[in-house]
Amino acid sequence: MIQGWWIVAIVAIVAWGIVSLAKARAGIISDEDGNETYVGGGDEASKAELAQARREIEELRDRVHVLERIATDNNSLSAQERARIAAEIESLRTPSEAEPVTTPSLTKEDQNQ
């Protein structure tokens, strides 16, 4: 007859295996000291999100660089200078999607010709 502690040991081993498998699928490995490290290996969606986040960070760095240049600019704030700064800020904003082009519909008379 199987004693109670054998059942507990078997359940613990199975649970440990399930946790290890889940970590391996998520890209987490352990070294010989037991330190866990994420090495990637996630799905394609997470890789795409990471690439998008990196692009966004680079765009934000460029914007901050331009804003620092504008803030430390030693020129006077004449009307012409204010217009230049406003135009530069507007050029940094993401362009809105172009409005769809609508074409006039042909009448039946135009279609018959």
Read off the pLDDT of each residue in 41-56 and give the average, rounded to a whole number: 80
> Does 12 fall in a domain?
yes
Torsion of CA 92, 93, 98, 99, to 10 degrees: -140
Are residues 86 and 70 part of one domain? yes
Q: Is residue 74 part of a domain?
A: yes
Give, rounded to a whole angstrom, the gap between the first and last alpha carbons of the chain: 96
4 vs 23: CA distance, rounded Å: 29
Question: How many residues can be counted in the chain?
Answer: 113
Q: Are residues 20 and 6 in the same domain?
A: yes
Count of domains observed in the chain: 2
Phi, psi values for residue 37, rounded to 5°:
-135, 135
Q: What range defines the domain where residue 13 resides? A: 1-41
pLDDT of residue 55 exceeding 90 = yes
pLDDT of residue 61: 92
Residue 1 confidence (pLDDT) above 60: no
**Per-residue confidence (pLDDT) for residue 58, from 0 to 100:** 94
* 2 & 27 share domain: yes
Backbone angles phi, psi at 90, to 5 degrees: -65, -35
| Residue pLDDT, tens place only, 65-97 | 888 877 766 555 666 777 788 888 888 875 655
What's residue 94's pLDDT? 59
Contact 41, 27 (CB under 8 A): yes
Whether residue 75 is contained in a domain is answered as yes
Q: How remote is the C-alpha of 52 from its chain's centroid?
A: 4
